[in-house]
Amino acid sequence: MKYYTVPATYEMAVKMANLVRYSCLEAFDEVAGPGFMKANFPKLIYLTGNWEYRSSTSFILGTAEGGKKILLAGTNFIDRYLTSADAINTYYLKTVYHEFTHILNQTKPYSDDFKQITGTGYVADKWVNSPYVDENYCLEHGFITAYAQHSDVEDYAEMFATYITSTPEKWEGWMQIAEKAGQRKNLEAKLQNVRTYMNEYWKIDIDKLRKVYQRRENDIVNKKIVLTDISL
């Protein structure tokens, strides 16, 4: 009840469903087997046509609740962002992985060690303001994105989702920026925490998942996948 939203159109909802299916559900199936997603991915996915805008000028791309449902916003704009991997990641696919990370964390909590790595750096809702919103600033303070500065919960989800949806070259570029400020070790410690958690609790190799995701995303960008197809 906090936002003015509009419905997702049927045509765009079909595309979003196929986008999630091919890039997320089937990617995890390929790495972890079909039983993992059947047991852990929420059975309810709510779609809205536009983004949910806050008074702070930021807007919500998606949310996850209680391990049971995910909301994805901006469905009616999907055609606008299918032309590049960066755009798809920014507005849709990174959000799906981010929110699913919350679902997994709600089921099996991650180690308290994670929140201690940059424990004094979290700024809650101030992350949308200067200087926190600047990409270099957050990297130079041990956070992979501006939103990661909100809280350890968001930091964790951003680490996993950003790693999976970013190419090795882009990731290394960020690490070099962080290294100049002496923060690369903190980001790598966070990533190792995520890697260990996903392997020990869920038997998932995040490096293998990353390769599978990158291949499937390229299929979408190169139009090898027909997102309007509703056949099973």
Average pLDDT in the chain: 92
Q: Supply the pLDDT for residue 155.
A: 98
Q: Supply the pLDDT for residue 54.
A: 77
Average pLDDT in the 162-178 region?
97
| pTM for the full predicted model | 0.91
Query: With 90 as the cut, is the pLDDT of residue 42 above it?
Result: no
- Edge to edge, what strands does the sheet with 62-65 contain? 44-47, 69-72, 62-65
Q: Supply the pLDDT for residue 71.
A: 87
Average pLDDT in the 67-82 region?
88
Query: With 70 as the cut, is the pLDDT of residue 66 above it?
Result: no
More confident residue, 59 or 121: 121
Instruction: Please give the share of the chain, as a percent, with pLDDT higher than 90.
Output: 77
